């Protein structure tokens, strides 16, 4: 598994480098990673379905319980299969979708990186590792949504997606840490095996739920998913229908057995969130004119259904949920690919402008019909099996309310499925289609095989798995058992007999038909309810509000006045360490004022020059006096026997003086008068205070030495360890080389900063001159 993850990383890197040279063939390079994964999964399948679970472990940061622990059980196998199977199809499909675009290198790289991260999420057996992969999927999703980065709408949608999922991810990390501390281990399988009991496990449950709910676009965080449709359609088909958004469902399924046992409100919360999402998403889907948005809201609805099923922690419901997870991955990716084909061939996804495509693309229509029928839960297909299993379990365990919600949700699902087919393919009398030539029916559009093959394969799988119910049962039951060991009996069967579940299916289909027939009335009703404040609006308002607060805080703290900045810093020094010095420390008793008259003289000169600097009114004079202070200090260094320091000090003073002169040419000759009347007195007070503080601090610090000076050791070790007799230099280049490294980095940054500031200001003054002349 580690090899597979590395393969994804390597392919992603390779694709980003070789993208330009390979052109659109880079997509085939990308397809290698999911293909290899798929082959490996097939080789593992029989072991894993029999209950085995290959494990790989590498220590990473054992101190915080973070290890590279990977584990493939049947549920992971199913998810990984979806990821790499659909991923492979998407790469094949993208070649025809994009044609010959020049930027497919980075696209492929991102898509492979996403596939790898998603694979990591589903095989990670360590909560912290899972979090790492989880955030990687958020980031790659962000970059893919914003792939058309020249469009403002794409960028906004991408930002919204990462703010919502990233915020949820942070909450989830908090939950993971709480849970891991309660359990004493971060191993996912370990926690599931022995659910921890601690008062704060409930908080962990809430935080993890927030993470999963944001990722899987549940109410009230559902709005980012329709926004994410700004991504290219292959991305939507891969990330935003089949894989990424299932991460939350996956996590909820894994966590449900833990939290159902220990947290009282878990089941109710999950059922309410899932049910509300299922209804709201479906309801919104009924009014969309954009086929892709219709599917997006449909996905929101189905995700709600999934959360409701897998989060309940009831074995039979979990089983049905995982069956639906598989079915949904297959049919929703198919439908998205179909939308991509329609968009690519006709140039629009607006169902008001599409007409009669069923005749022009019979194969695509057939594929879409199968997928939509599976989504609607019509017999013989995988979706039907899953929905029947869900109904059966709900009747037994779910209670009337949840069952009713699911029946209504399914009716809406049928209605928007029908709306999709009708909108995309039907001949509508109302639309005057340019395709309708007087010569008869428009010709059949020829589509390249790689374009239609992936959706065809997925549709065929939907049918085959539906007909081969026992095989599907084996896979799904093994997956469900790896989530919850109590799953034993339920089966997916084509024909239960005349049961209540079948009756509910009939009711939902009939309800869906009614809703579809009354679509005009439904749209009118939606126009009214749309005025209610939406989650999208509150998101926008909170982002705007946050920006405004940040502006105000920055404006107050960073007001651009240098005297105020320095004043604040110095006053803080006086207030905190200064007050400690006053109250706690005492001056040493035996102070040598000066070791020689020369020393006293130089010090006197320095003091005089400092005072003169402060009272000077001309800038140039002030700079020269400042230089005098510096040279005085250099003389002191010489007197103390530090030639290296003195040399450096002299050179620095000289160069700084020159730089000052270069800058001074652009400044007024004299300092401005202080506009603030209190200013002078206050500045004087602060200056004197700081002066007194620094002098007494130096005295106290030097007088209260207790430990052996570090410098003694450095001097001793300079020659044997550093190989040099110049201790200063050995410290700079060896003992403290890391500091020096940081300092020269700062120097480089400062040089670049100076250069860009000067260049920028020259450009702006140049422009002003140009205007004047």
Spatial contact of 316 and 397, defined as CB atoms under 8 Å apart: yes
* 3-state DSSP assignment of residue 484: coil
Distance (Å, whole) CA 477 – CA 484: 10
435 part of the interface to other proteins, by CB under 8 A: no
Check binding of 666 to other proteins (CB under 8 A): yes
State how far the Cα of 68 lies from the Cα of 505, in Å rounded to an integer. 45
Q: Which of 551, 595, 644, 713 binds other proteins (CB under 8 A)?
A: 644
Regarding 728 and contact with other proteins (CB under 8 A), the answer is: yes
Would you say 341 and 319 are in contact if contact means Cβ atoms under 8 Å apart? no
DSSP alpha helices (H): ranges in 238-290?
246-262, 266-285
Per CB under 8 A, does 748 bind other proteins? yes
Alpha-carbon Rg for the chain, nearest whole angstrom, is 35
Task: In whole angstroms, give the CA distance from residue 409 to residue 508.
Answer: 8
Site string for other proteins, 675-714 (x = CB under 8 A): ----------------------------------------
Task: For the segment 43-72, give every residue that binds other proteins (CB under 8 A).
Answer: none
Q: Which stretch in 75-83, 344-352, 438-446, 758-766 sits in contact with other proteins by CB under 8 A? A: 758-766
Choice from 446, 665, 677, 706 touching other proteins (CB under 8 A) = 665
Task: Single out the residue of 652, 674, 688, 768 in contact with other proteins (rule: CB under 8 A).
Answer: 652
Please identify, using beta-carbon distances, which residue of 607 and 750 lies nearer to other proteins.
Answer: 750
- Name which of 531 and 665 has its Cβ closer to other proteins: 665
Q: Residue 33's closest CA among 103, 75, 91?
A: 91
| One residue of 56, 345, 436, 734 binding other proteins per CB under 8 A | 734
Kind and range of the H or E run holding 615: helix 597-615
Question: DSSP alpha helices (H): ranges in 124-151?
Answer: 127-145
Cβ-based nearer residue to other proteins, 6 or 729:
729
d(CA 493, CA 512): 23
Is 733 one of the binding residues for other proteins (CB under 8 A)?
A: yes
Among 181, 526, 536, 648, binds other proteins (CB under 8 A): 648
Out of 194, 594, 755, 767, the only residue in the binding site for other proteins (CB under 8 A) is: 755
List, in sequence order, every residue forming a beta bridge with 187; answer none if it has no partner.
Answer: 126
Report the alpha-carbon distance of residue 367 to residue 425 in Å, rounded: 12
Among 194, 576, 651, 688, binds other proteins (CB under 8 A): 651
Q: Which of 758, 763, 767, 768 binds other proteins (CB under 8 A)?
A: 758
Which of 604, 643, 679, 691 contacts other proteins by CB under 8 A?
A: 643
| Residues 167 and 207: beta-carbon distance below 8 Å | no
Using a 10 angstrom Cβ sphere, with 0-12 exposed, 13-18 middle and 19 or more buried, the burial of residue 753 is exposed
For 526-592, the DSSP string reads: HHHHTTS--HHHHHHHHHHHHHHHHHHHHHHH--S-HHHHHHHHHHHHHHTHHHHHHHH----S---
Grouping H, G, I as helix, E, B as strand and the rest as coil, residue 56 is strand
Q: What whole-number distance in Å separates Cα of residue 124 and Cα of residue 193?
A: 16
Residue placing its CB nearer to other proteins in the complex, 179 or 626: 626
**Residues of span 117-176 touching other proteins by CB under 8 A:** none
Does 662 participate in binding other proteins (rule CB under 8 A)? yes
Among 6, 711, 759, 764, binds other proteins (CB under 8 A): 759
Closer residue to other proteins in complex, CB, 444/715: 715
What phi and psi values does residue 356 have, to the nearest 5 degrees? 65, 25
Residue with smaller CB distance to other proteins, 427 or 740: 740
Minimal distance in Å, beta carbon 736 to other proteins? Answer: 10
* CA 624 distance to own-chain centroid: 54
| 751 is a contact residue toward other proteins (CB under 8 A) | yes
Pick 42 or 658: Cβ nearer other proteins: 658
The reply on whether position 732 binds other proteins by CB under 8 A is yes
Instruction: Output the CA torsion sign for 516, 522, 524, 526.
Output: negative
Q: How far is the CB of 733 from other proteins (least distance, A)?
A: 4
Instruction: By CB under 8 A, tell whether 498 contacts other proteins.
Output: no
Nearer to other proteins, 530 or 721 (CB): 721
DSSP collapsed to 3 states, 696-755: HHHHHHHHCCCCCCHHHHHHHHHHHHHCCCCHHHHHHHHHCHHHHHHHHHHHHHHHHHHH
Nearer to other proteins, 529 or 765 (CB): 765
Q: In angstroms, what is the minimal distance from the CB of 671 to other proteins?
A: 20
Stretch that binds other proteins, among 322-330, 540-548, 676-684, 739-747 (CB under 8 A): 739-747
The one segment of 304-312, 400-408, 409-417, 738-746 that binds other proteins by CB under 8 A: 738-746
| Min CB(726)–other proteins separation in Å | 6
Of the residues 723, 770, 771, 772, which one makes contact with other proteins according to CB under 8 A: 723
| CB burial of residue 615 (10 Å; 0-12, 13-18, 19+) | exposed
Write the DSSP symbol of residue 184: T
600 binds other proteins (CB under 8 A): no
Query: Residue 67: beta bridge partners?
Result: 59
Stretch near other proteins under the rule CB under 8 A, chosen from 221-229, 237-245, 505-513, 732-740: 732-740
Contact status: 654 vs other proteins (CB under 8 A): yes
How many residues touch other proteins under the rule CB under 8 A: the total is 42
Say whether residue 624 binds other proteins (CB under 8 A): no
At how many degrees (to 10) do helices 577-584 and 562-575 cross? 30
Distances 164 to 67, 223, 285 between C-alpha atoms, Å: 27, 9, 21
Does the footprint of other proteins cover residue 647 (CB under 8 A)?
yes
Q: Report the length, in residues, of the chain.
A: 773
Q: Are 88 and 335 in contact (CB under 8 A)?
A: no
For residues 356 and 400, the answer to whether their CB atoms sit within 8 Å is no
Q: In the complex with other proteins, which residue's Cβ is closer, 194 or 750?
A: 750
Interface region with other proteins, contact rule CB under 8 A, candidates 20-28, 172-180, 581-589, 717-725: 717-725
H or E element at residue 32 = helix 26-49
| Helix or strand (DSSP H, E) at 70 | strand 66-71
- Taking the alpha carbons at both ends of the chain, their separation in whole angstroms is 69
518 touching other proteins, by CB under 8 A: no
List Cβ neighbours of 244 (8 Å cut-off, separation of 6 or more).
Answer: 114, 118, 137, 141, 215
Q: Contact between 658 and other proteins (CB under 8 A)?
A: yes
Hey, how many other C-beta atoms are within 10 angstroms of the C-beta on 217? 30
674 binds other proteins (CB under 8 A): no
Figure out which of the listed residues 600, 611, 659, 688 binds other proteins, where binding follows CB under 8 A. Answer: 659
The window from 305-313, 361-369, 619-627, 658-666 that contacts other proteins (CB under 8 A) reads: 658-666
Min dist. Cβ of residue 627 to other proteins (A): 14
Q: Which of 42, 564, 663, 715 binds other proteins (CB under 8 A)?
A: 663
- For the CB of residue 649, give the shortest distance to other proteins in the complex, in Å: 10
Specify whether the CB–CB gap between 323 and 472 falls below 8 A: yes
Q: Kindly tell me which of 153 and 659 has the beta carbon lying closer to other proteins.
A: 659
**Quick one: 52 or 742, whose CB is closer to other proteins?**
742
Binding site for other proteins (CB under 8 A): 643-644, 647-648, 651-652, 654-655, 658-659, 662-663, 665-666, 721-726, 728-730, 732-734, 737-738, 740-741, 744-745, 747-748, 750-752, 754-755, 758-759, 762
């Amino acid at each position: 598994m580690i090899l597979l993850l590395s393969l994804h990383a390597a392919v992603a890197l390779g694709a980003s480098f070789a993208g330009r040279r390979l052109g659109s063939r880079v997509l085939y390079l990308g397809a290698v990673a999911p293909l290899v994964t798929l082959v490996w999964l097939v080789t593992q399948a029989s072991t894993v379905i029999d209950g085995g679970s290959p494990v790989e472990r590498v220590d990473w940061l054992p101190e915080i319980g973070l290890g590279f622990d990977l584990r493939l059980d049947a549920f992971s196998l199913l998810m990984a299969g979806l990821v790499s199977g659909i991923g492979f199809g998407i790469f094949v499909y993208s070649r025809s979708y994009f044609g010959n675009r020049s930027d497919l290198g980075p696209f492929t790289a991102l898509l492979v990186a996403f596939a790898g991260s998603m694979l990591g999420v589903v095989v990670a057996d360590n909560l912290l590792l899972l979090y790492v992969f989880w955030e990687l999927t958020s980031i790659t999703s962000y970059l893919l949504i914003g792939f058309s980065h020249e469009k403002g709408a794409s960028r906004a949608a991408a930002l919204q997606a990462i703010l919502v999922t990233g915020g949820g991810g942070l909450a989830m990390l908090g939950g993971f840490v709480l849970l891991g501390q309660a359990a004493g281990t971060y191993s996912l399988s370990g926690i599931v095996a022995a659910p921890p009991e601690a008062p704060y496990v409930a908080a962990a449950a809430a935080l993890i739920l927030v993470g999963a709910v944001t990722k899987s676009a549940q109410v009230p965080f559902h709005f980012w998913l329709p926004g994410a449709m700004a991504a290219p359609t292959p991305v939507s088909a891969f990330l935003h229908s089949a894989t990424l958004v299932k991460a939350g469902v996956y996590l909820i399924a894994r966590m449900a057995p833990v939290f159902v046992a220990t947290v009282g409100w878990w089941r109710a919360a999950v059922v309410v969130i899932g049910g509300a999402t299922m209804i709201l998403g479906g309801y919104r889907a009924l009014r969309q004119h954009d086929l892709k948005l219709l599917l997006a809201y449909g996905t929101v609805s189905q995700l709600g259904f999934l959360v409701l099923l897998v989060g309940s922690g009831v074995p039979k419901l979990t089983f049905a949920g995982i069956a639906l997870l598989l079915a949904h991955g297959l049919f929703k990716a198919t439908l998205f690919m179909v939308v991509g084909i329609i968009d690519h061939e006709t140039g629009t996804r607006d169902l008001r402008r599409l007409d009669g495509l069923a005749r022009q693309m019979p194969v695509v229509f057939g594929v879409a019909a199968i997928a939509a029928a599976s989504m609607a839960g019509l017999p013989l297909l995988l979706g039907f099996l899953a929905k029947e299993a869900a109904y059966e379990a709900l009747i037994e365990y779910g209670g009337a309310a949840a069952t009713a919600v699911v029946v209504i949700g399914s009716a809406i699902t049928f209605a928007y499925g029908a709306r999709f087919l009708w909108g995309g393919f039907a001949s509508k009398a109302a639309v005057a289609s340019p395709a309708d030539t007087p010569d008869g029916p428009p010709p059949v559009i020829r589509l390249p095989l790689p374009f239609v093959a992936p959706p065809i394969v997925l549709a065929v799988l939907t049918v085959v798995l539906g007909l081969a119910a026992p095989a599907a049962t084996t896979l799904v039951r093994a997956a469900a058992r790896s989530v919850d060991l109590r799953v034993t009996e339920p089966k997916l069967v084509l024909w239960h007999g005349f049961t209540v579940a079948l009756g509910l299916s009939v009711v939902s289909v009939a309800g869906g038909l009614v809703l579809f027939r009354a679509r005009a009335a439904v749209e009118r009703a939606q126009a009214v309810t749309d005025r209610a404040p939406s989650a999208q609006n509150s998101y926008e308002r909170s982002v705007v509000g946050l920006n405004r607060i940040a502006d105000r805080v920055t404006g107050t703290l960073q007001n651009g006045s240098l005297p105020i900045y320095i004043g604040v810093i110095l006053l803080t020094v006086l207030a905190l360490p200064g007050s400690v010095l006053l109250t706690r420390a005492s001056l040493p008793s035996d102070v040598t004022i000066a070791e020689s008259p020369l020393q006293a003289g130089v010090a006197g000169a320095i003091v005089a020059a400092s005072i003169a600097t402060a009272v000077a009114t001309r800038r140039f004079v002030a700079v020269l006096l400042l230089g005098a202070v510096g040279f005085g200090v250099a003389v002191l260094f010489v007197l103390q026997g530090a030639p290296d320091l003195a040399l450096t000090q002299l050179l620095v003073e000289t160069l700084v003086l020159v730089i000052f002169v270069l800058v001074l040419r652009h400044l007024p000759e004299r300092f401005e008068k202080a506009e603030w009347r209190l200013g002078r007195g206050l500045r004087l007070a602060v200056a004197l205070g700081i002066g007194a503080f620094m002098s007494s601090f130096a005295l106290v610090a030097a007088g209260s030495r207790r430990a052996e000076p570090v410098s003694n050791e450095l001097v001793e070790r300079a020659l044997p360890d550093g190989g040099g007799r110049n201790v200063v230099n050995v410290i700079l280049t060896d003992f403290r080389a890391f500091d020096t490294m940081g300092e020269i980095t700062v120097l480089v940054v400062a040089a670049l900063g100076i250069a860009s500031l000067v260049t920028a200001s020259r450009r702006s003054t140049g422009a002003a001159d140009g205007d004047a002349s």
